[in-house]
Structure 1
Amino acid sequence: MARIKPQALLQQSKKKKTPSRISVTTIITFTLIVILIALSLYAAYQYWYPRQINDLHTNLNNFEQAAMFEEPKKASRPSYAVLDTSKGSVTLEIYKDAFPEVVDKFINLCQNGYFKGVLFHHVVKNYAILGGAKQTQGTAEDWTLKEQSQSHLAISPKHEAFMLGTKTTKEDSEGFELLITTAPIPDQNGKLILFGRVIKGEDVVQEIEEVETDENYQPKVPVEINDVTVKQDLWTAV
């Protein structure tokens, strides 16, 4: 076997190690593919990113609206009412969270002018002054504080003097019985709903309490409610 000379082996080794050349066409094709991929990614980003932002804003708006309307009445309920009577003005604080349905009804009636021209139809000394719809006023016996029958009832802290309330009625009743206590009264076992208190005008309430009444506790000289207006803050109420 013929021997290969060392110089020939060296030349063959150099030929094997020399890398093959990449054609220009391959480089251009590869570059175009990279550019197309980059453009596709950019187009996808431009399409999906704005949609995600819009969806996020939409979800936030929906959440805010849901939060706003979760308890709309509670947020919008006025906190005070001004009772304008023929004897003077009485400012009342409304307990908005006490009895929501009753408070909403009272506020709606005030805003619709329901109490304009309404009379205090019963005045019971050391008990309450009452005004409202005639169909709900009941008989005199309903509002008479009889010591024999009432003395065994405990005085509740919530039934103190100068509290704003109403008589419990049927849910479908359109009338509204408005009362202001003039003394601490016995717990009426659910017969009264108290949802506010007098913060200014106690003297007016006492003056109405002192009017002369007949045997049925009805004032001989009419005491009229000119209007009841509701306010959001104390400054406009007083």
Structure 2
Amino acid sequence: MRLRRRRRPLLSPDTDAAQGRRDLVAEWPGPGDEPLLRVEWQQEHRPEADGERVHLRLRLQTRFSSLQAVLDAPEPASVPRSSSGDQALVPSRGGALARSWAHRALRTSLGRRVVAPLLRYDLNTLIDVQASTASLAAGSRALMPAPERLAALGIQPDLSPQAPPLQTWAAERPQGLLQVSLLRIDRDQLSARVQQALGSAPFALTAAIIQTLDRK
């Protein structure tokens, strides 16, 4: 597994102590050029008016369909060992190891039964969470994804005061399935104990979960 972590430059010199963003990316090599599994984590914290805002994003991408090529290919040769100084060989060796492992696993009857249904799909999941302790006139509605982005997915959420905190949509697309869930929480929806812990600070939170299942 390859793991990369980086701290991006801050937006301006005026915010170097209070605002920043951290990214974390992890990949599991696949049998081809693209990873079989890719995980991206983003964390951002910044001051906002009389409070602060936290933005968390997790993206999970799987390419199980790439394993089909392993079933159709002959068993790979043994993977050569690389020396500590041979950096050019590391990426290709990782892919070769993945192909070798996948070939052995998929050649067994158990492996075929477990994995075969997955080979027809690639699953992608995005979890986006925003929370704020600033005084927002619109509360959690101010943290919702941009309306035009939701409209592009054919989604028109109910943002009235009587709307349920959790709303979910599911649709079938030509290339697969789409499911979107939106969660909105304002201070008055929290338990008395949590409100007491917050003191007089406002609170609003939104979470969006978007999942696509793409047929290959």
TM-score (normalised: structure 1)? 0.20
Greater fraction of residues in strand:
2
Of the two structures, which has the highest relative contact order with CA contacts closer than 8 Å and spacing of 6 or more?
Answer: 1
TM-score, normalised on structure 2?
Answer: 0.21
Which structure: greater helix fraction? Answer: 1
Larger radius of gyration: 1
